[in-house]
């Protein structure tokens, strides 16, 4: 086989065999297929797509490019959740302890944020001492002891994806549904899970802004996952407005703790509980969705979910006092500027995309892979969609440190553009749009 012949065939709309895809993925490690040829191939895939069979073969090849972890010696079901990313999306920090408290083991391998979307690892690293770089032995130990573990991708887990993810970002091919499917499933299935719940975002702040594109991605991942022997449930959820009130790493950890104490905002609690309930049903610890929701709410009410978070923070080297006094433990910004309403009415909308861009200007997100994160920076909304405001009311707090203080006037302008105030209160609707 020659990579150039396979690139040409895909460029012209042809189909690649399973052996050819295995050769291309294997060539990443051996150097037989260099980066520049894979860059050409990813663009050909973006334009021409892949059949379900090709996509399944790509997932399988990337999955087996490294270690596939076996957690069968840990009792019970192992279920994870993956989100396609959004603004203020900190559901992993909430649902993983809830599911663990209800009897499902959650071995979670997460990623970092890029652009306007936040990353679970960046949030966790804002907790003093928290380690996301556990080796596989420690990964197993923490999963067994705590019922959950929260780490970053290791060199052993789907190493082909580490290369392709960087290439996709550099070659403007991130949006390819077959490549997204292969990237997510190869990492998640390598964790040792029995089942997977997907949160596919759609709307202003999502990578898949169009609902039909989000549905196509959800269908691709559920179909391929099931073909590879893993039950997969997907929810399509709205990302038109930031999820919750906090956007920024330490701020989102604080809000996650508030949720685990039962004091979180309605929208964030809804999505977190719905996803956690799906994990319980797939894990076989709840008879149906209503039973699962009741168990999840009970885990919050009796404190067992917060206790699970406290245990995993301590097990991974973090300061467990974050569960009792998050504002005293987490890093804080030097200054807090206020964004105020310019007229009276009701908050009719807060566009997620410009809010994500604004938080990135403050240092809470990455414009590039090598950008440095400011864990204390971000935005906290005091008003949410549907709230009544008077002229001069504080709508949001801007948390900034000196390095990014010059961006505050621009952030204020961006929040003004993102926030719509209307005469009438907008109707409230569920953020869960579809289940697949």
**Residues annotated as catalytic (active site), given as ranges:** 82, 161, 168, 183, 187
Residue positions counted in the chain: 436
Per DSSP bridges, beta strands 79-83 and 195-202 are parallel
If phi over 0 gives left and psi between -120 and 50 gives alpha, with beta otherwise, what is residue 245? alpha
Rounded to 5 degrees, φ, ψ at 395 are -95, -40
Q: What sign does the dihedral 90-406-398-429 (CA atoms) show?
A: negative
- Helix ranges (H only) for 35-90 are 35-48, 52-63
Strands (E), 216-313: 232-238, 246-247
Reduce the secondary structure of 116-162 to three states and give it as a string: CECCHHHHHHCCCCCCCCCCHHHHHHHHHHHCEEEEECCCCCCHHHH
**Side-chain-side CA neighbours of residue 8 (13 Å):** 5
In angstroms, rounded to a whole number, what is the distance separating the alpha carbons of residues 254 and 168?
A: 33
H helix or E strand, kind and range, residue 215: helix 211-227
Smallest CA-to-CA distance from 96 within 191, 179, 209 is with 191
Rounded to 5 degrees, φ, ψ at 413 are -65, -40
Torsion of CA 170, 176, 181, 184, to 10 degrees: 20
């Amino acid at each position: 086989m020659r990579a150039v012949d396979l690139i040409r065939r895909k460029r012209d709309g042809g189909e690649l065999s399973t052996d050819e895809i295995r050769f291309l993925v294997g060539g990443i490690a051996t150097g037989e297929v260099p980066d520049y040829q894979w860059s050409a191939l990813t663009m050909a895939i973006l334009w021409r797509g892949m059949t379900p069979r090709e996509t399944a073969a790509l997932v399988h090849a990337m999955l087996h490019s490294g270690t596939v972890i076996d957690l069968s010696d840990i009792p019970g079901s192992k279920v994870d959740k993956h989100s396609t990313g959004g603004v203020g999306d900190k559901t992993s920090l909430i649902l993983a302890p809830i599911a663990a408290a209800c009897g499902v083991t959650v071995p979670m391998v997460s990623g970092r944020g890029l652009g306007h979307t936040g990353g679970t690892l960046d949030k966790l690293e804002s907790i003093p001492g928290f380690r996301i770089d556990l080796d596989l032995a420690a990964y197993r130990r923490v999963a067994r002891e705590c019922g959950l573990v929260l780490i970053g991708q290791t060199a052993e887990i789907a190493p082909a994806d580490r290369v392709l993810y960087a290439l996709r970002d550099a070659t403007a091919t991130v949006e390819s549904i077959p490549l997204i499917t292969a990237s997510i499933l190869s990492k998640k299935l390598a964790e040792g899970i029995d089942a997977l719940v997907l949160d596919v975002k759609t709307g202003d702040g999502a990578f898949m802004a169009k609902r039909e594109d989000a549905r196509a991605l959800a269908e691709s991942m559920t179909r391929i996952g099931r073909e590879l022997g893993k039950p997969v449930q997907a929810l399509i959820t709205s990302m038109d407005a930031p999820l919750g009130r906090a956007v920024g790493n330490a701020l989102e950890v604080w809000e996650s703790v508030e949720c685990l104490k039962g004091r979180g905002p309605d929208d964030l609690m809804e999505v977190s509980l719905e996803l956690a309930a799906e994990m319980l049903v797939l894990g076989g610890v709840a008879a149906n969705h209503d039973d699962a929701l009741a168990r999840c709410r009970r885990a919050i009410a009796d404190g067992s979910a917060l206790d699970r978070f406290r245990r995993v923070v301590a097990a991974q080297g973090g300061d467990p006092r974050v569960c009792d006094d998050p504002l005293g433990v987490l890093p804080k910004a030097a200054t807090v500027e206020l964004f105020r309403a310019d007229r009276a009415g009701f908050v009719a909308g807060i566009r997620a995309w410009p809010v994500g861009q604004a938080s990135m200007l403050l240092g809470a997100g990455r414009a590039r892979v090598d950008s440095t994160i400011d864990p204390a920076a971000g935005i906290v909304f005091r008003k949410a969609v549907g709230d009544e405001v008077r002229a001069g009311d504080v709508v949001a707090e801007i948390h900034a440190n000196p390095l990014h203080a010059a961006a505050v006037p621009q952030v204020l302008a961006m929040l003004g553009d993102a926030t719509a105030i209307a005469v009438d209160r907008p109707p409230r609707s569920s953020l869960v749009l579809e289940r697949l």
